[in-house]
Amino acid sequence: MEYQDLCDPYMLEQDEELFYGFWGSCTNSYRSTKHHPGYQIILKWREALRVKANSNGIHGTKSRFRAAFDRLKQCQALPAGVTKDCVTNDPFFVYTSNVDSHFKRDFDRTEVYELHGNVEMWQCAGDVETGAREPCEKIWKLPADFRFDVDETTMKAPGAEATTCPECGGKGRPNVLMFHDRQWIANTSDENGYIAWESVMELMLQEDPTLNLVVLEIGCGTRVPSVRRETEMVVADVIEGCGRPQATLIRVNLEIPTCDNPLIVVNNGFLPIQSKGLEALEAIDHELTVITLRDKD
Concatenating the DSSP letter of every residue in 254-290 gives SS------HHHHHTT-EEEE-S-HHHHHHHHHHHHHH
Closest by alpha carbon to 191, among 95, 124, 90, 103? 95
Task: Give the residue extent of every domain in the chain.
Answer: 12-34+120-176, 37-113+192-296
Residue range 272-280: average pLDDT?
98
Tell me if residue 116 is catalytic. yes
pLDDT digits (tens, 9 = 90+) for 46-82: 999 998 888 765 567 888 999 999 999 999 999 999 9
Higher pLDDT, residue 133 or 50: 50
Give the residue ranges of the annotated binding site for Zn(2+).
124, 136, 165, 168
Asked whether the predicted pLDDT for residue 241 surpasses 60, the reply is yes
- Could you tell me if residue 81 is left (phi over 0), alpha (psi between -120 and 50 degrees) or otherwise beta? left
Task: Tell me which of 35, 36, 102, 116 is the catalytic residue.
Answer: 116
Q: What is the pLDDT of residue 15?
A: 95
The pTM assigned to this predicted structure is 0.93
**37-113+192-296 under CATH 3.40.50, yes or no:** yes
pLDDT digits (tens, 9 = 90+) for 146-205: 999 999 999 999 999 999 999 988 899 999 999 999 899 999 999 999 999 999 999 999
